Amino acid sequence: MNVFYDRFERHAHGEGLKGRSTHYCAGCGHGLAHKYLAEAIEELGVQDRTVAVSPVGCSVFLYYYFDVGNTQAAHGRAPAVAIGHKTANPDSIVISYQGDGDLASIGLAEIVSTAQMGIPITVIFINNAIYGMTGGQLAPTTLMGQRTSTTPEGRTEFFGAPLKMAELIAGLDGPVYVERVALYDAKQRNRAKKAISKALRLQVENRGFAFVEVLAECPTHLGMTPPEAEEWVKQKMTAVFPLGVKKDIENPPERPPAESPVFDPAYLVQAIEGSTDKAPRFCETFPKHWETEDIALKFAGAGGDGAQTAALLVARAGINEGFDATHIPSYGPESRGGTSFADVHIARAEVLSPSSPAPHVLVAFNAPSLARFGPTVVKGGTIIYDSSVIADVPALPAGVKVVGVPLTRIAADLGRPVVKNVVAIGALQAATSMFPGATFLAAIRQALKSKCAMIPLNEEAFAQGQRAVRGDA
């Protein structure tokens, strides 16, 4: 069969008997499911445009066997990756091949959302009622009373009932075809082959989303021989997971082609309301008075203090000057007095780590922020805090420049308390000389280009912050 590689490089570099054998245990259902899927790909003549997405699970090495395009997804994320492939290249035939621990547990949100979208992809779901790869733990599909490595006494009501994925997916509006099949005898294997073929054909015809659940044997973790495992599936699993078609929309209309992403730079700039205009530059080089080529800053305060906006403006200033800059926000329970903070890095060449656990500069808008992050500032660094709201300054590291600026009072005197973050940026500039004042003002004007009336006020707030540090306020 052309769809399978002649040699499986995972074993013995493709040499000898091992090089022509899969890694699956004897009696495992994956082997038959692979065979039927490969036959369907070959019969439909779509090998050259097929992409298979393998999961985290026993079938993670699917890409060693199928000579098609392959992507290995993070645990549970195969449907999301499949959508990416399909929308980027609508002519591709995309198959998400997943096990029950992957699809029905950590990937439940992904498969439900993908199915509801109805985008034409094919999902093959292998249900063996257990986690196979990681040691036989309880899975969402484990039967009541079934013993696993994490439920040695059997599944109880405490864990809820087994999750019936075919019925769940069939209840959504998006899918056009959902069927559950099995592999325990020749008749059921023939039905499984037909179901897999139909699910793939519906995608080839651009009809819609198709889902096939395959009840498969796992003799190893059931502690049974392959014939015993087949009988167990027949007697036990089918009683909980009834076989048959769960949804089949007859003659589903052909869907309009999926919209391909637009990569035109002009369109993207317009879509994000950006600009191709180059920002003015005021720095001749990276700040020479800093003994580092990567400046780490942290802005912290309560919700509404403007720490995040201040961080973004400083990062924008660095980018405008041609340096690499990153911004990472972190939102705590600010409404209950917690801390919202942002980490900013500005580097001469490249930021290697965007977090700032030991910043060179801290701007603290409230007492909890100063208490939490003040001790983390490196020797030779600078702390700017709002002296309007912080009365008691905690013990801070030796060798750190500490500057108190009444940010809140200055902003209130200007008639707009929300500009205290811009006051803080002015104080930052005066206290550190990180960039010329014109650099920060250019970033502020750029951010306010749609609110031009606010620019003079923010310019004055910036100047007031500078004067407060210089002592000429």
Pairing of strands 340-347, 382-386: unpaired
Please state which of the four CATH numbers 3.40.50.2300, 3.40.920.10, 3.90.600.10, 1.20.1560.10 is assigned to the domain occupying 267-470: 3.40.920.10
Q: Which CATH class is domain 12-248?
A: alpha beta
Which has the higher per-residue pLDDT, 166 or 271? Answer: 166
Q: Which of 196, 202, 167 is nearest to 181 (CA)?
A: 196
**Which residues 6+ apart lie within 8 Å of 389 measured at CB?**
365, 366, 367, 408
Whether the per-residue pLDDT at 338 is higher than 80: the answer is: no
Q: How far is 364 from 379, CA to CA, in rounded Å?
A: 17
Whether the per-residue pLDDT at 337 is higher than 60: the answer is: no
Q: Which of 80, 37, 424 is nearest to 212 (CA)?
A: 37
What number is the average pLDDT over the span 406-419? 95
* Adjacent-strand bridge partners of 211: 123, 178
Among 100-104, 163-167, 238-242, whose mean pLDDT is lowest?
A: 100-104
pLDDT-derived band at 154, boundaries 50, 70, 90: very high
* Residue 50 tokens, joined: 């097929």
Domains in the chain: boundaries: 12-248, 267-470
Whether the per-residue pLDDT at 333 is higher than 70: the answer is: no
Classify 417 as helix, strand or coil. helix
Strands (DSSP E) contained in 100-171 are: 122-127
String of DSSP letters for 398-416: TT-EEEEE-HHHHHHHTT-
H helix or E strand, kind and range, residue 471? none
Q: How far from the centroid of its chain's Cα atoms is residue 25's Cα? A: 32
Strands (DSSP E) contained in 183-323 are: 210-215, 244-248, 294-301
Output the pTM of the full model: 0.67
